[in-house]
Structure 1
Amino acid sequence: MAVNGDIRAGVVDVHAHWLPRELLALPPGNPFGGMNDRDGELFLGNIPLSFPTAAMTDIDVIVADTLKAGLGARVVSAPPFAFPVHTPSEADDYVAAYNEQLADAVSRTDGTLVGLGLVRLDDMAAARRELTRLAGAEGVAGVAVPPVVQGRSYDRGVMREVLGIAAELGLSVLVHPMQLPRPEWDHHYLVNLIGNPVETTTAVASVLLGGVLEELPDLRICFVHGGGCAPSLIGRWRHGWRSRDDVHRGSSRPPAESFTRLYFDTITHDPEVLKLLRTHASPDRILCGSDYPFDMGQPDPVGFVLDSGIDVGTLEANGRRFLGVNVIDGSR
């Protein structure tokens, strides 16, 4: 199923963030103290995020920055702090409000922005209700979700079932890490520099070794930050899959084979790492990403990818394939 509505022609950035000012407080139970504006700069609790509040909250600013970056369209989702995972049973109103405002905001951008909504990952009925609503929302292509919730990922339980509903409804899924705290990562920003790639890698492994793609062949799922550490671990996973019953018990295909059916964005910060990703991933599964407006993002997402040898036409086609969107005729 294609997203309701069209997008502008050109390179699609699948990884950017938006949150309306009315929802900066974040979902119930969040441990961050909410997000807040201080003289035009955005803070997470008392931590400065090093970018203007408007870059996260103002649709007109995001559209202008999208065009300035040479992009055809940009896919916006909530920042990971807004995932409803801490007290999800109390987050229904927040999730519904975000998804409603997202659909309204992106539908007014003439195809420049596409949305990915929020969903609970603890309750099947709540997840199906919200995903069904998103499937009918103009300009919304799917959902953004965290890689790990309370020690579990997408090979079992409700989280796996949510992927099944997304595949059934034709929704795209973007997996984005949350910077889960660990004592050994409490300095040097290691919670991001190491934690984010490790979270993503855990989710990639759970999908590959859990046989998710064998069960859901039509699932469109993207892992950001170039798949974290996964490209460098494919050989290790392959060896384990061949050598141990507990590794290959959940999947009928070698992990390297299923890896080619996953989507990945290009935020690797290193052309050689992107080259490694391209060695293992399918050429039609590489997507442009920016992580706009965060400081760990790629400031020139198109230039970085073009310098790595991927052409504009491929990037555009891959982005449309992931989202299931149409391109407005004559927009270039």
Structure 2
Amino acid sequence: MTPTIDVHAHVLLPEVDRAVADFPGHAAHLALEARRNGPAAVEVNRRVIGELIPRLTRVEARLADMDAAGVDVQIVSPSPSHYHYWADPGLARTVFRLANEGVAAHCAEAPDRLHGLGIVPLQHPDLLVEALDHALGLGLRGVMISSFAPGRELSDPAYDPFWAHAADTGAVIFLHPFGCTLDERLDRYYLSNIVGQPVENAVALSHLIFSGVLDRHPNLRLLAAHGGGYLPTYIVRADHGWEVRPDARVCAEPPSAYLRRIWFDSLVYRPEALRALIDAVGVSQVVLGSDHPFDMGVTDPLDRLRAAFPDGDEFDAIRGGNALRLFDLKD
């Protein structure tokens, strides 16, 4: 039997929080996040994270959740709150090393069921290859990145050596936004996450597609969280723009062609949305994802997949077969 593999799950690493706590940049970062999220979301987040600490830090609690959901294997990423793209080079190196080592240690407690992803400091392109090699050297399967760094989009040419090295090594790059530059427009009703994350996914993927990154690095293993946000199911607008606008026609093919080179998690909540995602990207490019254990995730990813595809090859591919191929895991 192909194992059921959840590619989108997180671990909280207190050692990273302690390392950044006393830096002035951290206080400024927290103030920015508070402004972007708004006071109501900040208060709810504080309570929710407190309640989730055991499930975010203890392997035995993680395994119990996996068993309850029918998940055999998780790909565990750091909490995106650990990016700290404000950090200077010295602190950034400390952050990525602590995060990568923390994920590796967490997964080592259940090596037959847990595999990990690290992080890299997007704000310092000259450190990215070093950080990726550090993660891979610990046995991690790749790294998680956000949708942008201050002053840099993912289309920035300074990132090309990183994309090339990731493609050469077979590392998975997990695109998982944290924060949204729409700022106070989303500072209530938790719109900073509900709307902001899908927007950031769409913007970041559009930069990678339109700029030609995927032309230059066709073997890049890119996985997008949250079903790729708003892009896959409205890709026809991108195709139209590519056809009629010479300034948009930088990539070699229509944007929709690149969706077949990107992997997407299944975290789109409803069966009809999952079927629409698969219509856009192909069944081979979708993998199971839950966002465990956060409240914007789901506790029953397998049941939701079954509601869209009750049985058969499509169900088994998304349940685990595609992830085996993406992460080079043994059946």
User: Higher relative contact order at CA 8 Å, sep ≥6: structure 1 or structure 2?
Assistant: 1
- State the TM-score, normalizing by the size of structure 2: 0.87
CA distance 1:11–1:269, change in 2 (3 Å): same
Aligned equivalent of 1:18, options 8, 11, 20:
11
What residue number does 1:265 align with?
265
Aligned equivalent of 1:312, options 288, 304, 316:
316
Q: Is the 8 A contact 1:153 1:202 kept in 2?
A: no
Q: Is the 8 A contact 1:225 1:264 kept in 2?
A: yes
Offset at residue 296 of structure 1 (A): 0.5
1:48 equivalent to 2:47? Answer yes
1:325 equivalent to 2:326? Answer no
Q: Is the 8 A contact 2:123 2:149 kept in 1?
A: no
How large is the Cα RMSD of the aligned pairs?
2.1
What residue number does 2:165 align with?
165
Q: Is the 8 A contact 2:86 2:123 kept in 1?
A: no
% identity of equivalent residues: 28
Structure 1: gaps (5+ residues): 1-7, 34-42, 328-332
Q: Is the 8 A contact 1:9 1:72 kept in 2?
A: no
What residue number does 1:142 align with?
142
What residue number does 1:174 align with?
174
Whole-angstrom CA distance in 2 between matches of 1:228 and 1:19: 24
Q: Which amino acid aligns with 2:3?
A: G
What residue number does 2:68 align with?
68
Whole-angstrom CA distance in 1 between matches of 2:287 and 2:164: 22
What residue number does 1:3 align with?
none
What residue number does 1:37 align with?
none
Q: Is the 8 A contact 2:55 2:293 kept in 1?
A: yes
What residue number does 1:288 align with?
288
Q: Which amino acid aligns with 1:81?
A: S
Q: Is the 8 A contact 2:233 2:280 kept in 1?
A: no
Counterpart of 2:150 in 1: which secondary structure? coil
What residue number does 1:303 align with?
303
Q: Which amino acid aligns with 1:311?
A: F
Whole-angstrom CA distance in 2 between matches of 1:312 and 1:71: 13
What residue number does 2:36 align with?
none
Q: Is the 8 A contact 1:178 1:196 kept in 2?
A: yes
Cα deviations by residue, 1:290-326 (Å, 9 ceiling, x for unpaired): 0011001011011101211141344211111121222
Q: Is the 8 A contact 2:199 2:230 kept in 1?
A: yes
Q: Is the 8 A contact 1:12 1:74 kept in 2?
A: yes
Offset at residue 17 of structure 1 (A): 0.3
Q: Which runs of 4+ in 1 moved over 6 A?
A: 43-46
Structure 2: gaps (5+ residues): 32-41
Matched pairs, number? 309
Q: Is the 8 A contact 1:154 1:203 kept in 2?
A: yes
- State the TM-score, normalizing by the size of structure 1: 0.87
Q: Which amino acid aligns with 1:23?
A: V
Q: Is the 8 A contact 1:121 1:158 kept in 2?
A: no
Q: Is the 8 A contact 2:265 2:286 kept in 1?
A: yes
Q: Is the 8 A contact 1:223 1:263 kept in 2?
A: yes
Q: Which amino acid aligns with 2:255?
A: P
